[in-house]
Structure 1
């Protein structure tokens, strides 16, 4: 299983409807397909979604760092030498999704080589996860209509509501409209993407105290250190650290510093190896986790559900696994399907990623 090639293929697929939130918006999935090939004919596949407004990566930077820096350092290593792989990748700072995609692809190779699904290799707790759907910025009636459509079509009953607009009263009104329309049996939580100040967030949480929110996520910047600590200490619901806790050390810092009481795990930024380190650290501290969404396509979603379903702690809450529904197409030969509010792990060896060559040829950006 020696690595003989690492490919980074840029592709772009439009969204049928843009997702808008406090730190930006996404109209096109301008992602990078990662393929790691071995000398015995195995190919591990993953997807790197650049989020320049969060991590500073772009499609061009991911391709460049893999082609010019990462790939030459990995050739000749085996898929089993993950510690050596990560040590070499971490010589270069940043680039989390580029590093994560390589890790995901290596696990795909291990699954194929052993004939086992990656979900089983990681832990094999269950074969599916409940799905949470993200509702982006829009007028309140449009947000309600989207949530009702997703609930009625796919059976999804957990919704993550993007907040952080100014004035924040608009967000509170939207959350209240969602609660009134969807009823008490639906789970709601909010994500501010750092759009509010700590004082604005505290007032908004107070005004939404009767809505039965499940979580609050990144309502204000982590750099507002004292304000965020005061906010989290007074929060009536668990406070999730997401983009402020992208590595195990950052997770520890946010939790022990009182800036979060729960953690979002995203395989698109920590791979499977780093995600397990985050998960086990949270378990050791008695902290809950949720499976987040990097606005992944179906390839990234397959990775998220494989990890989330593999562990008891990461499968407890609904995972953010549905935003590929807003894409006009994808690269998989067999599209994912959400049924009765759940998404199943792909059966078979590895991750079960089978790329349609015609679709890849249509959407790739380097030819």
Structure 2
């Protein structure tokens, strides 16, 4: 089970519709495929989606750090030496999605080696997750139409609405239009991607108070310490810390400081090993957990399903799993299919997916 090679392969797949939100816009999935190969010929795979406007990583940066630093540090380790791998990778600051993808590829290779699915290895709570769909910036009528299409085509009934524009009335109108269109047939929550000030956030949430929202997420920056604490203290819905609470230390700081009451776990930035740490801390603190989305492709989405389905707390709420629908293509031999608003854990060992070599050859950029 020793690792003999780690590959970082950049690829680019356009989106049919760019996703727009307060901290940026994504028009092309410029991601990196990570492959971990063992002496037994087993290959584990995972996807690293760089988000420079959130974590500072770029596609070229991920390839460079994997090839020059991370691959030499973990080559020769056994797949079971995940804590050793983690300690070595953590000598380098930052680079969360590069580290996470290596961790998940190791888990995938380990599952394939022992003939078990990653979900079973992690906990095996269920075999499916309900799906939440993210609605990016647009006019109210267009966002309602997209939600209608997701309901009719895929059975999705939970929607995360991107907010954070100015004036706040733009986004208040969108959320209100969604509730008026669908009534209590859908679940709604909002994500500001740090786009508003605390005062703007408070104003918007007062205007949305009668719409029965599930959550509010990252409405204002976490480094506005007093302002965010003031905001969270007056809300009557859980406030999700996302990019402000990646590590267990981040989570502890935000929650004990009164700046968050729930968290988003994204396997794309914490892998399976780090995500378990976050999950167990959330369990101990009694926090709500949502499985988030890093605008992943289908491989990254399969990883989110594998982890979220493994634990009761992460399977309780709908998970953000549908953004791959906006991509014009993908790399998997068997595409993911959302049915009745759910995605199931892929059968088979590891994560349960295979990469189509022809598609990889077509979309790779190196």
Q: Return the TM-score normalized by structure 1.
A: 0.99
Aligned position for 1:208: 208
The C-alpha deviation readout for 1:176-209, integer Å capped at 9, x for no partner, is 0011111112100000000000010011000000
Aligned position for 1:360: 360
Aligned position for 2:140: 140
The C-alpha deviation readout for 1:141-176, integer Å capped at 9, x for no partner, is 101100110011100000000000011110000000
What CA distance in whole angstroms lies between the structure 1 residues aligned with 2:45 and 2:54? 24
The C-alpha deviation readout for 1:215-253, integer Å capped at 9, x for no partner, is 000000000000000101111100000000111110111
What CA distance in whole angstroms lies between the structure 2 residues aligned with 1:362 and 1:247? 36
Please say which of residues 111-120 and 188-197 is displaced more in the overlay.
Answer: 111-120
What CA distance in whole angstroms lies between the structure 2 residues aligned with 1:73 and 1:276? 23
Aligned position for 1:83: 83
| 2:38 is equivalent to residue 38 of structure 1 | yes
What CA distance in whole angstroms lies between the structure 1 residues aligned with 2:249 and 2:37? 31
Aligned position for 1:155: 155
What CA distance in whole angstroms lies between the structure 2 residues aligned with 1:46 and 1:286? 30
Aligned position for 1:349: 349
What CA distance in whole angstroms lies between the structure 2 residues aligned with 1:276 and 1:233? 28
The C-alpha deviation readout for 1:59-105, integer Å capped at 9, x for no partner, is 00000000000001111111100111000000000000000000000
What CA distance in whole angstroms lies between the structure 2 residues aligned with 1:107 and 1:183? 42
Aligned position for 2:128: 128
Aligned position for 1:52: 52
What CA distance in whole angstroms lies between the structure 1 residues aligned with 2:88 and 2:350? 24
What CA distance in whole angstroms lies between the structure 2 residues aligned with 1:276 and 1:75? 24
Aligned position for 2:339: 339
The C-alpha deviation readout for 1:6-58, integer Å capped at 9, x for no partner, is 00000000000000000001000000000000001111100000000000000
What CA distance in whole angstroms lies between the structure 2 residues aligned with 1:8 and 1:167? 42
Q: Runs of 5+ in structure 1 lacking a partner?
A: none
What CA distance in whole angstroms lies between the structure 1 residues aligned with 2:306 and 2:234? 35
What CA distance in whole angstroms lies between the structure 1 residues aligned with 2:43 and 2:144? 42
Q: Return the TM-score normalized by structure 2.
A: 1.00
Aligned position for 1:189: 189
Give the 3-state SS of the residue equivalent to 1:183 in structure 2. helix
What CA distance in whole angstroms lies between the structure 2 residues aligned with 1:365 and 1:167? 40
What CA distance in whole angstroms lies between the structure 2 residues aligned with 1:343 and 1:331? 18
Tell me the CA shift for residue 119 of structure 1. Answer: 0.4
Aligned position for 1:305: 305
Tell me the CA shift for residue 113 of structure 1. Answer: 1.2
Aligned position for 1:230: 230
Aligned position for 1:27: 27
What CA distance in whole angstroms lies between the structure 2 residues aligned with 1:40 and 1:316? 38
Aligned position for 1:165: 165
What CA distance in whole angstroms lies between the structure 2 residues aligned with 1:18 and 1:178? 21
Number of aligned residues:
366
Aligned position for 2:322: 322
Tell me the CA shift for residue 210 of structure 1. Answer: 0.5
What CA distance in whole angstroms lies between the structure 2 residues aligned with 1:183 and 1:126? 29
Aligned position for 1:13: 13
Aligned position for 2:198: 198
Aligned position for 2:102: 102
Q: Runs of 5+ in structure 2 lacking a partner?
A: none
Aligned positions of 1:272-287 closer than 5 A? 272-287=272-287
What CA distance in whole angstroms lies between the structure 1 residues aligned with 2:306 and 2:72? 29
Give the 3-state SS of the residue equivalent to 1:184 in structure 2. helix
Tell me the CA shift for residue 352 of structure 1. Answer: 1.1
What CA distance in whole angstroms lies between the structure 2 residues aligned with 1:110 and 1:311? 19
Give the 3-state SS of the residue equivalent to 1:310 in structure 2. coil
What CA distance in whole angstroms lies between the structure 2 residues aligned with 1:312 and 1:209? 29
